[in-house]
Amino acid sequence: MRRRKTETGWSKINGMRLCVFLLLSALLPPSSLAALDRGADGKFHQRRSAHFRLLQDVDIDHRTGRGGSRQFEQAVIEALEDAFRQVHKKLDIRPRGAVDVVVYDPAVFDGTYSDQFRFSTVGFYDGVIHVRGDVEVNRRLVRTLHHEYFHAALDAVSARGHVPAWLNEGLAEWFENLAIGKRRLSSAEYAYLSQANRLDRWVPLSVLSQPTFAGLDNESATLAYLQSYAMIEYLVRHHGEHRLRRFMRKLVRGARLEWLLKREYRVSLAELEANLRAEL
Ligand SMILES: [Zn+2]
């Protein structure tokens, strides 16, 4: 699940949106593509690619030509296939079957889902990727597609409830940032985390270790997502991507998280958190 966020920094926390990873049936009825309401223009367009089935209903005036809905669908598919390649390359994770993706007209998405979550969202995954669309595939939409795809890929290879929210959301954030060439905390994110640490507004590990952040309020969710991203960024910065790949390979095969953190990173979860906070 991805919250709405501004591209200008973390000082403006109100009105931002993230996305939410939902355990199936946690909040919404099970997804059924056949049960989708009529789209913005009354009809969802369908596209297939090697690894995705796409349905989209963004209210774009024309079908063909520059800026048309066909071109938009092609750009969405390209972003999704890029997300597939990145997650496979970095973590050796890939779903066996095709992943279903629904891109909604922004007004339809907001009207349908705005009251389903306690914080404002631009996408969620509940067995199907649901994304708030746009009339073009801009940076924000690319980030959302990469973020949600990671949830879908991890869900396809891991036992339900085995991966805590901090790890699932932290990696989803890491991949969406990589998609736009960002590998580190921005100075605004760093400042926001430092202030939360200093004022002791830190979201505790017991909350970060829940299966999903879907129940958090807006401010707690903002911090929970950022802390989760910072923990992954810390692990990669200190130990590299190769270690992360080995860690995730063992985790999806069923290794217990605390045991695996000790084995691969020589820390407990509490020590990882303490090390991160000491850096801030
Ligand atoms: Zn998410």
131-149 residue pLDDT tens: 999 989 999 999 999 999 9
pLDDT for 256? 96
Strand partners, 47: 54
Q: Which CATH class is domain 2-158?
A: alpha beta
Q: Is the pLDDT of residue 85 over 90?
A: yes
pLDDT for 7? 40
**203 alpha carbon to ligand 1 midpoint, in Å?**
17
Give the helix/strand (H/E) hosting 192. helix 187-198
pLDDT for 24? 44
**154 alpha carbon to ligand 1 midpoint, in Å?**
11
Give the count of beta carbons closer than 10 Å to the beta carbon of residue 46.
11
**269 alpha carbon to ligand 1 midpoint, in Å?**
20
Q: Is the pLDDT of residue 204 over 50?
A: yes
| Contact in structure between 3 and 16 (CB atoms under 8 Å) | yes
**157 alpha carbon to ligand 1 midpoint, in Å?**
17
Dump pLDDT digits (tens) for 37-48.
555 666 889 999
**121 alpha carbon to ligand 1 midpoint, in Å?**
10
pLDDT band at 172 (very low <50, low <70, confident <90, very high): very high
**263 alpha carbon to ligand 1 midpoint, in Å?**
27
Given CA atoms 9, 13, 16, 22 in this order, what sign does their dihedral have? Answer: positive
**63 alpha carbon to ligand 1 midpoint, in Å?**
31
| Contact in structure between 139 and 77 (CB atoms under 8 Å) | no
Q: Find the helix packing angle between 165-179 and 69-91, rounded to 10°.
A: 120
Q: Is the pLDDT of residue 6 over 70?
A: no
> What secondary structure does DSSP assign to 112-173, as a single string?
HHTTTSSS-EEEEESSSEEEE--SS--HHHHHHHHHHHHHHHHHHHS-TT-S-HHHHHHHHH
Can you tell me the distance from the alpha carbon of 212 to that of 206, in angstroms, rounded to the nearest whole number? 12
Query: How does strand 45-48 pair with strand 52-56?
Result: antiparallel
**Domain-by-domain residue ranges, the chain?**
2-158, 166-279
Q: Tell me which of 19 and 99 has the higher pLDDT.
A: 99
pLDDT band at 65 (very low <50, low <70, confident <90, very high): confident
Q: Is the pLDDT of residue 27 over 60?
A: no
Per-residue pLDDT, averaged over 58-82, amounts to 90
Q: Is the pLDDT of residue 151 over 80?
A: yes
Phi, psi of 143 (to 5 degrees): -60, -45
Q: Is the pLDDT of residue 109 over 80?
A: yes
Geometric angle at alpha carbon 258, from 254 and 264, rounded to 5°: 85
**21 alpha carbon to ligand 1 midpoint, in Å?**
5
**62 alpha carbon to ligand 1 midpoint, in Å?**
32
pLDDT for 114? 83
